[in-house]
Structure 1
Amino acid sequence: MVENHHQQPPIISPPEQERKKRRREAIIIAISVLLILVLTRAEIHLSRISSEVPMGSNILIFGIINIIILLIILLIYLVFRNVAKLLMERRSKAIGANLQTKLVIAFMGLSLVPTMLLFVVSASYVNMSIRNWFNTQVESSLSESLEVAQTYYKNSAANALYYGRQISSIIRDERLLNEENLPRLRELVRRKQQEYNLGIVEVYSSQNEELVRSSNPGVPQGEFTNPSSEDIKMGLNGKELSRVNTVGKADLIRGIMPIYSTYRADEVVGVVVVNYVVPYSLVEKMREITSSYEEFRQLKILKNPIRSGYILTLFLVTMVIVFLAVWFGIYLANSLTTPIKELAEATRQVAEGNLDVQLGQRSSDEFGMLVAAFNKMTLDLRSHQQALRQTNIELVRSNQELDERRRNMEIVLRNVAAGVISVDSHGVITTINKSAEELLQVAARDVVGKNFREVLKHEQIDTLKGILRDMVMAKQDTISRQVTVPIRDSRATLLFNLTMLRDESGEFLGTVVVFDDLTQLIKAQRMAAWREVARRIAHEIKNPLTPIQLSAQRLRKRYLPRFGDEDTVFDECTAMIVKSVDELKNLVNEFSSFARMPAANPAPNDLNGIIREALTLFSQGHRAISFGFREDRRLPHLQLDRDQIKRVFINLLDNAVAAVAEEGEIEIESRFDPVLKMAVITVADTGHGIAPEDKPRLFEPYFSTKKSGTGLGLAIVSTIIADHNGFIRVRDNLPHGTKFIIELPVTA
């Protein structure tokens, strides 16, 4: 039996689907309402720029238009959504998609032609009706009527100013504002009021006091109001002005004319106010004309929105009819293709291994017969499946045991300290464990599947061939050899164990290579041996040195003055003895220090401060050399033995000073790696450098590249760094020179 391992999509329960559907509908409704409000507000703002239509009309009309637009968009979305779904099913060759497409196209064609014809005719009728409503002749008549009324008011205001100017000239010429001429002034005003058929005529003095008033008997005196003091003051300032004021139900057209002095042409001595009264009947007609014209203007501004609303409504009805036709076509197609889809889905489940599928027989027609045959087939397949299940269980159990063994072997291989590489009969690497990757500095993904000659270096290949040759000559399937091979930038001592793999018939299958890195072990053994040698040498040499030195000093003290001028040879010999003894003592002290290296006593210390102290000792005494220190101020305090770490940097700086020439450079850099929790210190010089063949032995005792060196300085440095759980490496400082890299752990 073949099991289906394809990942099935997550099953969503009906209540969860319903909640998601309601949430989606609520979001759509909220967005639609917000969109209606935003569009309505934007259209109202745009309409205010070019019209004076009331706010209520704007909100109602534009709101209805936006709702209609959104409904149309919703219907278009539903139609295109169903059509797109149908096209996707057709493209994916879903069962029934062709039949659905034909039915939808048929119903859409049957509904689209008559509805579009009806839409075109109705839209033409709407355009014609709206065009007749807003006839140019009607607008012209209303505009001319309003212009006639406005002209009447303008002429009345001009007449008021004209008659006021006439009366003002007579008063000025006859000096009627004098107190003795007031009776003549009243008579003049009364006569001119009747002569010019004026409503009311008033005369005010320069002190804004009413001197004379004459009114038409037909003017209602109770509703009459005097001119405002501001208007009188403007007249007294020499300005001619007219005003239209509403008095009761009538309008009052008022003209104000200044009266100039007879003696001084620029002096205003009074004001004449002439009032025309517009009857209520005429005012009412004027207001009706203005109101009708404004209403017509509003409707004309909304002409396009009204027409768009009608057309959009017609389009909405058209789309509803088309949508219903498409929906009915899809519904009819689904009713025909649903049984076929159910049978196809059940067949797919059977193909995937689900033999418990049973279809409900809804009818006794051809579809019912097909469903019955399908159900019988699944029952037969289920009975055959039972026979295969037991066999499959046994196979699965065997595979699980094999997988468990394989996993255990991989775990052991991955965690073993020795490097393990398996090579097939053609020399292709089939397996490499983590230790081998780290030792050879390779990645399994880069070497597995490649020939070992493409991965190993030339010298490593020669070493491996030599071991294989010894194995063949010894006629053995297993051999062990300790060899030194190049690893990374140095040489390492490895213990190789080669085993040939053969099957039951003795046919060669490949080779397993197991190797251990013995470099550190041999180094530790060598270090222990050298410490024992140093301890014995220091013990044997130190005892006779002190008597020799004391004897030479006593000879110099006692006999040097007796020789007089012939003391040169004696002086040089005794001085040479004392100097040589001092040098031997220094050498013995170095031996003793190396042999009895005290245990580190770590305490929180500032590593940057220790480096600065060591650097100060050398920078003062070697001014021709450029010393530099780039310190990382983020470096926290470390658990260090201050004296031992200071000795490390003194030894490294001493070697660097000896290596560089005059005007050389020595650069120290400290850096904190917060990820690895590591302090990294680099001591670089621009000296002559170290030969590649000397680098592997550089930290061994009594190995030195200096003629006068003891070979213990770097050995002590390496021991101190190791006691602090750190590492020290040597690299070339390009373009020339040497670089020592120290890594110390940063503990909390």
Structure 2
Amino acid sequence: MESNPHRPRKTLLIFLLGVVVALFFLAWSQASLNLSFIRPQSAAETIALLAVSALIFLAFVIFALILLRILLKLYVERRQAQLGSRFKTKMVAAFLGLSLVPVCFLFAFAYGLLNRSIDKWFGIPFDVVRKDATAIAQQLESDARESAVRGASQLSEDKGLARDMARRDIPSIESRLARQVSDLDLASAACFDAHGRLLARAGVPFPGVDVIARALPDLASGQEILARGPLVLHAADSTFILAARPLAGPRARNAGSVVSITSLPPGIEQMAAEIQRESEKYDHLSRERRAVKRTYFSVLALLTLLILFVAAWLSLFLSKQVTVPIQALIEATHEVSKGNLEFRVSARADVELGSLIHSFNEMTRQLLENRRAIEQAAQALQGANRELEKRGNTMEAILQNIPTGVIFFDAKKQITQINATVERIFGRKDVQSARSLTDLFSAEDAREIARLFRRAERQGVVTRQMDLDLGTRRAAVAVTLSSIRTNHLMVGSVMVLEDLSELLRAQKAAAWQEVAQRICHEIKNPLTPIQLSSERILRLAEREATRSHSLEWLGTVAQSASLIAREVATLKTLVDEFSDFARFPSSKPVLSNLNFIVEKALIVFDGRLEGIEVHRDLAFDLPPVQADPDQMKRAVVNLIDNAAEALEQSVPKEIWVSTQFDPEREVIEVVVADSGPGILEEAKEKLFLPYFSTKARGTGLGLAIVSRIVTEHHGGIRVEENRPTGTKFIIELPVERPVAASVET
């Protein structure tokens, strides 16, 4: 593997950048974070810190010069229109633009925020709070001292206490001390004899008994150590202030001393000391306010410069990662365009561009191999072409003499060949010049045939009877379309056309004759009961004309009228269904959602399927289909209604309605199944014929109408057994994927 000559330089730049970032962080932490462990403590450390600062400045100067050199070089390359210079310039401009705008906003915002914050730090409210806190702490201690001195004075003037001291009446002394502690709001009080021994005390325990005992003889001798000022003692987190006075006994003899003790709130002295220390720090910082602002401004400026430098350097680095391999590829393409397929790219690149270089080298290698293979195959192809020409002549003769029309299409659905029978079917001489579907068929027919092409691509072969516009006439034509594939690749299609006009004309004549006969038969059947009922009503009316109406007569009239109404309704239903079948409206398909159509069909039966449990399982996110929503709803309603009628004698009574998408065949299935008795195998073949019905009073037109609706939607319908019991009707509709359309919902 080749060594990259620029790698040492790149490594050095990355190393220097890391050193600068580390030194920058060191200086910033010293200036802004106030870290005591990196604060110089001696002249040597100060010199070292100055050296580090100088090194930081020197490094920034060096990197700025390197950056300036790179930018000047980029400018020269752009002026000379060198390959990749525009890309490098755009990368640098993009990175600097993306970095400069937010960094400048951040710099301005941070600088303003720091100024406001520093000004607030040294504002008047904070200074007043600091002074008031100090004064409060001092006042608390002063009040405690005065309370201790006042308590000691009042205890020394208590004559009863002096008498008790002279008599050494300890219980009385303790009782008096307890009352005085309560009255004078002291923390504690104590009595000592002339030798400094503790006789009695009351209140909370206090420390320093030995200290007091040593000071009391001096008090008695006139030195008055405690009398000059209260004694402050500390114990745990409490502070006690003690004041003492001598107690004169009978005949002015020294009877001992009394001590009054007050206490400060826990931790108050520590808080006062802390307030004092922080106040001194605050005064020091207040004097250095401008220096602090300058420090933060310098830090922000250096950080901004560092970000801009990193952005510019990174953009140049990334652009080189792209431009160098691309330049090598361009040189290689020039060589390949000259016919030099043995040229190889040797430039190194990252994973993506490295893959591209590897693919390019592999491509040139394969091109070289293919060139040699093509030269070898050229001779073989010449012999094959001669053989194909002979076969083509034979096929041409066959096509021109067969009775069906044949049209050949290429992979792009362009017409390549038409036989003579197509001219006879269309009755035109210009069909041989047709090259596309619209040249041969009308716009509507061309759209339908385009759908057949899509189905043929999915299914291989598809056949459909179509009513084609042949220019001078419309004719029923059987269209068979077959796709031609080679190694699973579609290379073309063959369309076979057969004119069915005469055949369909004969079939329609026979069908309508049968329909007319059946209609006459079905209409005559209800006439007999209608006539008999009418005659019976007439006779009863004549007989009862002169007499009062009886209940029996009224019942007979009601029964006859009911029979007439039922038979007339049957006759009307039959006529309506025949009319629907005979004059079935043409479908108007739009891009529709089958789930929505099925939901609307189910809404029709809300509250009408008493005792029948309906299960629905509609697939999520079905692709759209071309369908007439009203006609498809009618088909689904008809199937559900038939299923409900089939369940009259069945237990349990259940209907399943579901939709699903078959991605392999690209069709959507609508399934309506029931738990009824099922359909005989021999009846399934006739199930969709007109006037065939498995029900006693069925007209045989319902499923025929469903079949016709599905057929007009280019779909299919079939019937299967439902497991374990019942019948399953399956409607299949092809999926349509137009470029842009709105889905009917």
Q: TM-score, normalised by structure 1?
A: 0.34
Task: Name which structure has the greater RCO, CA cutoff 8 Å, separation 6+.
Answer: 1
- The structure whose Rg is larger is 1
Q: TM-score, normalised by structure 2?
A: 0.34
